[in-house]
Each structure stands twice: as structure tokens, then as C-alpha cells.
Amino acid sequence: MVNLRLVVPADRVATVLDQLVRSRAVVNLIHLPGAARRPDGDVVMCDVAREDASVVIADLRELGIHEDGSIAIEYVDTSISRAADRAERAATGSPADAVVWEDVAADTSESAELSGAFLIFMVLATLIASVGIYLDSAILVVGAMVVGPEFGPVAGVCVALVQRRPQLALASGRALAIGFPLGIAVVVVASLAFKATGVTPEVFSDADHGLSAAIANPGFFAFFVAFCAGIAGMLSLTTAKSGALIGVLISVTTIPASANVGVAAAYADWPAFRGSLGQLAINLASLLLAGTLTLLVQRELYARRRRVHRREQADSRENAPVS
């Protein structure tokens, strides 16, 4: 269930209550007249089945509640109520698969921002991955994937394309355009320092390092894995079935490639440099394609649900008894 806490201007509270009452997915409706300040208005609270949360919020936005009042969204972990059970049954579909679009928009806007923390994590992830490449250690490369923060901006670009939000697209693109080159540049500097101090050998050949060779030679499976990762990552963002390891799956296609670009540049291995750069480009393009297509499918399902909701609301008004 999703809990909505609304501040509703007094001139629209009757309309809001009427719409909420008519929705079978809404329960635990509470009205506190004149209880809100800044903005002034009535406080209305209710629980909504997750599947219909966005369609109910869309109704409220059409009434301008978010402009003159406010809409706050919280999640109810446990609800022991037969009324809540009936509301969830009335909202067809699985709660775990439902998308609360307002939540998606808020999450991507926050995670897509270019911040100091984002850049530090990008640098740390590529540095750890570069050491994994030198030592041919899959464990260290996986550790770098855990640290990698790039999924936020990638998801931000996908959401911006589907929802037509140019400012989010610019912010996400800026984070990616600065984060990856910075990580690569730091790896180049660190690799030159390692080589100068004898920490790493004078000559580095990807033929002797299986991980580096695999990264520098992208093929069909590079696209395939990145495409699957893009779908998994977007589903983790939009549904309730998110997992802590989704970020690892996303980073498997990007962080190692960017680290290998830096290592190859430091050793002037230009074939490996071009191959790794191609790997990174393919992976990013695949992630963006898969994520955007996933969102488009989910958006179409939401649009259908909204049309059904509108018909149900219209039928409810027509069948309402005349007072």
C-alpha cells in the first residue's frame, strides 16, 4: 500500500474527497478540516493500492493540488486490514510489479545529479578495477562494480527520454560525460605512477591478462549482457523487486571497460585502448536502449491502466444515486 498525505485548498476538498471515495483502490480515508499551514488547507490522508497509486495521483495533479497544496507519498510496509485487502484486489495486477511514476521521477532526479560523492565513487571504482586488471583478479573487478555509481545517471537519461524532461537528460548526461573521463584520467595517472615506481611491469600485454583481453575485444555478448543489465536495472528502479546487486550487474559492463581504457592509454597499447573504448560505448548504448524500451513498455501499461481508471470513475458518477 501507498500512503498519500495531501494538503488540499478548501475550495477543492469536496472534489478531492469525492474522487478518492469513488476509487475502489483507496481506503483509510481521513479528512482533517483546516489542519494545515503553509500552505493553508485541509489535510486529507488515505492508503492506495500500489498498482493504482500513480493514476490516483494523476487525478490529484489535474486538480492542481500539487500547485496550491501538496502531495506527499509514503510506503506502508504492513497493513492489517480487510478493507486494504479488498482495495488491493480491486487494483488488478501485482503490487511488486506496479510502477509509482512520481517515485521514479524523484529517485532519478536525485541520483542523476553531478556531485562530489558521485565523482569520488567513479574514481575509486575505476582505480579498484584497474588493480583487478593488473592482477587479473575477478574478485577485485567485482569489488569495483559494487562501488560504481553510474546507474543513477544512466537511468536518469532513460527516464528523461520517456518523460520528455530535457533538464534531467542534461544533468544525467553531464554526470556521465564528466564521471567516466575523470575516472579514466585518474587511472592513467595512477598507472604511470605504478610503472615509474616499479609496482607494475614496464610492459603490459593484454595477451597475458585474460580480463584485459576480454574487455578489449567486444563482441555480440558485450551488447547482449549490457542489454540484459539495462532491463534488470530499470526494473529494479521502477518496481518493488529491486535488489542490492543490480548495481553490480550494471557496472560489469562499464567500470571494467573504463578502467582498461586508462591502463591501455598509460602503456600506449592503442589497439587495446580502442577496443576498450568501443566496449564502453557499446555497453552504454545498450544500457540506454534497454532501459528506455523497458520504460516505454511500462509507460504504455500505465496509460492503459489510466484509461480503465477514467472509465470506472465515469461509470461511478453515472450510477451515483441522485440526492
Tell me phi and psi for residue 73, to 5 degrees.
-120, 130
* pLDDT in the model for residue 61: 92
Instruction: Tell me, yes or no, whether 185 and 283 share the same domain.
Output: yes
Average pLDDT of span 265-272: 92
pLDDT at 193: 95
- CATH value at residue 73: 3.30.70
Residue 86 lies in a domain: yes
Q: Is residue 315, in this structure, part of any structural domain at all? A: no
Q: Distance between CA 126 and CA 175 in Å, rounded?
A: 15
Angle at 72 between CA 68 and CA 73, to 5 degrees: 145
Residues 137 and 195 in one domain: yes
Q: Mean pLDDT over residues 259-278, rounded?
A: 93
User: What residues make up the domain containing 222?
Assistant: 104-303
**Within a domain: 218:** yes
- CA 15 vs. chain centroid, Å, equals 34
Write out the three cell numbers for 245: 546487486
**At residue 248, does pLDDT exceed 60?**
no
* Residue 81 placed within a domain: yes
Which residue is listed with cell 564502453? 280
Report residue 22 CA to chain centroid gap. Answer: 32
pLDDT at 146: 83
Please enumerate in sequence order all residues whose Cβ is within 8 A of that of 186, keeping only pairs 6 or more positions apart, or say none.
Answer: 123, 126, 127, 262
Residue with cell 497544496: 69
**Structural domain count, the chain:** 2
Q: With 70 as the cut, is the pLDDT of residue 321 above it?
A: no
CA dist., res. 65 & res. 320, Å (int): 25
pLDDT at site 180:
96
Phi and psi torsions of 57, nearest 5°: -65, -35
pLDDT of amino acid 319: 65
Does residue 41 form part of some domain? yes
249 has pLDDT over 70: no
Asked if residue 88 has pLDDT above 80, the reply is yes
Question: What pLDDT, on a 0 to 100 scale, did the predictor assign at position 99?
Answer: 85
Least confident among 47-51, 91-95, 154-158: 91-95
Q: Which residue has the cell 583478479?
A: 137
pTM score:
0.82
Mean pLDDT of the chain: 87
CATH number for the domain including 280? 1.20.1080
pLDDT score recorded for residue 65: 94
Do 26 and 155 lie in a common domain? no
User: Crossing angle for the helix pair 255-266 and 116-135, nearest 10 degrees?
Assistant: 70
Q: Are residues 69 and 159 in the same domain?
A: no
- Residue 75 has φ and ψ, to the nearest 5°, of -105, 135
pLDDT in tens, 178-220: 999 999 999 999 999 999 998 988 888 766 677 888 888 888 9
Distance CA 54, CA 196 (A): 58
248 vs 86 pLDDT, higher one: 86
